[in-house]
Amino acid sequence: MRLYQITELEQLTGIKAHTIRIWEKRYNLIEPDRTNTNYRRYNDEQVKKLLNVSTLLSNGYKISKIAELSDKDLHLKILESQSSKQEDVICATFINDLLSAMIDFDEQNFEKTYSAVINRFGLFDAMLNVFYPLLNKIGLLWSVNDVSPAQEHFASCLIKRKIMAATDGLPFAKHKKKKFLLLLIPGEMHDISLLFANYIIRSKGHETIYLGQDVPYENISLVLKQIRPNFILTFFTVPQDPKTVYSDLKNNLQLGDGNKLIVSGQSATTEYLQKKMNAEVIYHPKDLLNYL
């Protein structure tokens, strides 16, 4: 069982650390373990309880009333809340359900919630409204730590598998005028955003060549010479020296006038490439639609 710091709890639940401390004292909502130096540590069950509390707060419940509920009654209230018609509340509920499944490594419940999200929104809106906020909460989307806990890998691998399956179900490109090369440069391993970008482009009928993660520069150069894509799309999730990235791209890719570089992710890197290479920056998946 993993133990969480209060800052991680704040990130996952959306409840401020100061508020959590107040609730512990005022309502005895949860009782964390403490280290020898008196730092709070929270277990999986406490995290899931606060996720449920967060969901009910989104549905208009008062914390004083929530604190009076038994664990069984809390669960029943969560089930009732899922009938709400407010989209933002529904999304928050889905996100918390997925987080709870992630914490338990519960693939069955993760799949069940995933299917409910897709049935309601479709993949594109589901990614924007549920899965991107989910991944932001667990620190996997635009900014990633060097070491990710197993629970986070569990969730990201399931989502990647779903995106790839949905992409495989798309027809071949109808529009041959626009060709996109999608890749991550050496050292970049987190490819959920790239996979989703591939799905978006393919779903609009355009051609993609998907090379994936951690592609050596010499391989990228060979592909560029052979296929001559209109656009090269890449993401930066790992903090790197922008000057080094620029030098590597400039020396190895030798982009021509017909190759437009599109970048996203770490702002320090993308802004530097925008200035030095006239790269175009996308800040949100919807921005990609401008090229389609």
Lookup: tokens for 51: 């996720």
What integer is the mean pLDDT of 8-14? 84
Contact, 152 vs 181, CB < 8 A? no
pLDDT interval class at 145 (50, 70, 90): very low
In a domain, 127, yes or no: yes
Q: Is 104 in the same domain as 11?
A: yes
pLDDT tens digits, one per residue of 235-286? 998 888 999 999 999 888 877 777 899 999 988 999 999 999 999 999 888 8
pLDDT interval class at 1 (50, 70, 90): low
| Higher per-residue pLDDT: 31 or 83 | 31
In a domain, 286, yes or no: yes
Contact, 243 vs 275, CB < 8 A? no
What integer is the mean pLDDT of 204-221? 94
Q: What per-residue confidence (pLDDT) applies to 56?
A: 86
pLDDT tens digits, one per residue of 31-71? 888 888 888 899 888 988 998 898 888 878 899 999 999 88
**What's the CATH number where 16 sits?**
1.10.1660
| Residue that the structure tokens 């667990």 belong to | 138
Q: Is 22 in the same domain as 91?
A: yes
**What's the CATH number where 237 sits?**
3.40.50.280
Q: What per-residue confidence (pLDDT) applies to 133?
A: 87
Q: Is 28 in the same domain as 151?
A: yes
What integer is the mean pLDDT of 223-244? 91
In a domain, 108, yes or no: yes
Q: How many domains does the chain have?
A: 2
Packed helices 150-168 and 107-126: angle between N→C axes, nearest 10 degrees: 50
pLDDT at 229 over 80: yes
Q: Is 10 in the same domain as 150?
A: yes
pLDDT at 144 over 50: no
In a domain, 47, yes or no: yes
Q: Looking at 19-28, 63-72, 92-101, 137-146, which range is the least confident one?
A: 137-146
Residue that terminates a domain, selected from 133, 161, 189: 161
Q: Domain of residue 97: give its range.
A: 6-161
Bridge partners, 171 (sequence order): none
Q: Is 18 in the same domain as 156?
A: yes
| Residue that the structure tokens 């401008």 belong to | 290
Q: Is 96 in the same domain as 225?
A: no
In a domain, 17, yes or no: yes
Residue that terminates a domain, selected from 117, 143, 161: 161
In a domain, 20, yes or no: yes
Q: Is 146 in the same domain as 13?
A: yes
pLDDT interval class at 142 (50, 70, 90): very low
Residue that terminates a domain, selected from 161, 184, 200: 161
Largest CA distance in the chain: 67
pLDDT interval class at 147 (50, 70, 90): very low
Q: Is 144 in the same domain as 215?
A: no
Q: Is 137 in the same domain as 14?
A: yes
Q: Is 93 in the same domain as 187?
A: no
Report pTM: 0.78
In a domain, 166, yes or no: no
Q: Is 129 in the same domain as 85?
A: yes
Q: Is 14 in the same domain as 128?
A: yes
pLDDT at 202 over 50: yes
In a domain, 1, yes or no: no
